């Protein structure tokens, strides 16, 4: 007999269901342990996350040169003193460190960074991965794998063991965004006959490159981050490679194409990885791609808050588009709440509400705890609206809906 959920128990039922549902995290910068030092973890990595580096310069009396000359532990000490001791850690990035340490059982009342370092010094990475996946209730994560990265590439070319919890995504920014400076030369260096004017031979060699790496990585999708001025169609190497290479290969191998649009790279280069910005994009590029390629599958997340509503409307027009996540500068409680409501109201359950974008393994803990809190709150309101109209909801139906949002929609989208 199906258990009908009353208003009195709705909130606790939704919270318990969202909390217990294992999540598939579809975009991260994590690496399985066989990638060695590329997998970042531990309290000094947490505190020197590039989001916190951007924030420390707003309050500390330190020059860029002085900061970048520091060792990581010195950088962490400065950030800890500035953003956690001299100021309350209320920003989402700071709050994330506090949540993570608490969920790992550490005493936050002490504010004793030395003792936190001692805890991590006793961890072995393989066991710590199990702890984090368990505490965060994460089933698997999708990595960001860049065949152009000199650190990463050799590991793929060796016979790596891999870990099924760490799935791959083929990241192709250099091919699409820097073909002339980076993509073309590197591809020639890898043994692909590519030229700057993208001859027929070149396009066929780029398709071979993509096929080779799809065979090697077995990626869940191919991904690129794009600037707000991205246009499609576009009379450029990017436009040509997308049309002649990415789209046909994506269709041939049933590997969706993920477009992450709205990042303005290096608006402040002094901040290095923390120096990127955001701007509203013209989404006609998406409408053109989707309408011209109805058989292709696309994943999209956008960086500008101002683009989110029109993205939902585009999602209503094109079923071959799966909208996902609250990316980067969108991943703050006030904005996650706003766009999750908007998405449920315009798309129902046919979307992927969140990804973590975690760069440090431990971050899975806070990014998912914070997101689950908001997803639960929004779902309770939406279910309550239905109960108020006399609609009945069962526990199984809530479980079904939450499983879809936290992984099922992604798996189904990949398989169809």
Residues 225-254 vs ligand HDL: string with x where CB under 6 A? x-----------------------------
Q: Which long-range contacts (CB under 8 A, 24 or more apart) does 358-361 make?
A: 358/25, 358/28, 358/29, 358/30, 358/141, 359/28, 359/29, 359/30, 359/40, 359/49, 359/50, 360/40, 360/41, 360/42, 360/45, 360/46, 360/49, 361/30, 361/39, 361/40, 361/41, 361/128, 361/129, 361/132
Distance CA 102, CA 47 (A): 14
Closest contact distance (angstroms) between CB of 144 and ligand HDL is: 6
SS3 call for 114: helix
> Min. distance of Cβ 363 from ligand HDL in angstroms?
10
With contacts defined by CB under 6 A, how many residues of the chain interact with ligand HDL?
8
Q: What angle do CA 19, 24, 29 make, to 5 degrees?
A: 115
Assigned token pair, 172 = 């192709």
Of residues 5 and 136, the one with the C-beta less far from Zn ion: 136
The yes or no reply on residue 11 touching ligand HDL (CB under 6 A) is: no
For residue 357, the minimal CB distance to Zn ion (Å) is 4
Question: Collapsing DSSP states into helix, strand and coil, what is residue 170?
Answer: strand
Write the CA distances from 381 to 10, 87, 400, integer angstroms: 10, 34, 17
The least CB distance from residue 29 to ligand HDL, in Å, is 6
Shortest distance, CB of residue 225 to Zn ion, whole angstroms?
Answer: 7
Footprint (CB under 6 A) of ligand HDL, residues 152-211: none
| Among 328, 349, 373, 397, contact with ligand HDL (rule: CB under 6 A) | 328
Among 4, 85, 273, 313, binds ligand HDL (CB under 6 A): 273
Measured from the CB atom, the residue of 25 and 401 that comes closer to Zn ion is 25
Among 92, 357, 362, 401, binds ligand HDL (CB under 6 A): 357
Q: Which of 44, 338, 357, 401 binds Zn ion (CB under 5 A)?
A: 357
Chain residues in the site for ligand HDL (CB under 6 A): 29, 144, 225, 260, 273, 328, 357, 359
């Amino acid at each position: 007999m199906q258990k009908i959920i009353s208003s009195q128990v709705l909130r606790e039922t939704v919270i318990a269901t969202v909390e217990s549902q294992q999540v598939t995290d579809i975009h991260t910068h994590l690496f399985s342990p066989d990638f060695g030092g590329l997998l970042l973890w531990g309290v000094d990595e947490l505190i020197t996350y590039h989001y916190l580096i951007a924030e420390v310069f707003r309050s500390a009396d330190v020059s860029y040169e002085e900061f970048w000359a520091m060792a990581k532990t010195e950088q962490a000490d400065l950030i800890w003193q500035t953003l956690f001791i001299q100021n309350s850690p209320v920003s989402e990035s700071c709050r994330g460190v506090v949540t993570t340490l608490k969920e790992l059982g550490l005493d936050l009342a002490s504010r004793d960074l030395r003792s936190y370092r001692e805890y991590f010094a006793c961890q072995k990475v393989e066991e710590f991965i199990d702890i984090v996946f368990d505490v965060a209730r994460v089933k698997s994560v999708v990595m960001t794998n860049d065949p152009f990265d000199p650190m990463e590439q050799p590991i793929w070319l060796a016979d790596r063991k891999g870990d099924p919890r760490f799935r791959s995504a083929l990241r192709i920014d250099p091919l699409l965004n820097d073909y002339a400076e980076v993509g073309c030369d590197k591809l020639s260096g890898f043994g692909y006959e590519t030229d700057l004017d993208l001859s027929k031979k070149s396009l066929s060699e780029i398709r071979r490159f993509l096929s080779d790496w799809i065979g090697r990585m077995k990626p869940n999708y191919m991904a690129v981050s794009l600037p707000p001025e991205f246009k499609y169609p576009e009379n450029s190497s990017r436009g040509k490679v997308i049309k002649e290479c990415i789209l046909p290969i994506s269709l041939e191998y049933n590997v969706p194409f993920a477009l992450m649009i709205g990042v303005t790279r290096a608006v402040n280069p002094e901040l290095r990885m923390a120096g990127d910005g955001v701007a509203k994009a013209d989404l006609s590029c998406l409408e053109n791609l989707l309408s011209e390629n109805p058989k292709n599958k696309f994943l999209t997340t956008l960086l500008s808050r101002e683009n989110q509503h029109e993205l939902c409307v585009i999602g209503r027009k094109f079923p071959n588009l799966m909208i996902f996540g609250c990316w980067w500068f969108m991943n703050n409680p006030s904005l996650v709440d706003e766009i999750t409501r908007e998405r449920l109201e315009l798309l129902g359950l046919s979307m992927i509400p969140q990804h973590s974008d975690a760069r440090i393994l431990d971050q899975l803990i806070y990014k998912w705890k914070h997101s689950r809190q908001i997803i639960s709150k929004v779902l309770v309101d939406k279910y309550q609206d239905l109960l108020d109209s006399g609609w009945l909801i069962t526990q199984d139906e809530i479980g079904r809906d939450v499983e879809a949002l936290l992984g099922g929609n992604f798996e189904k989208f990949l398989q169809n």
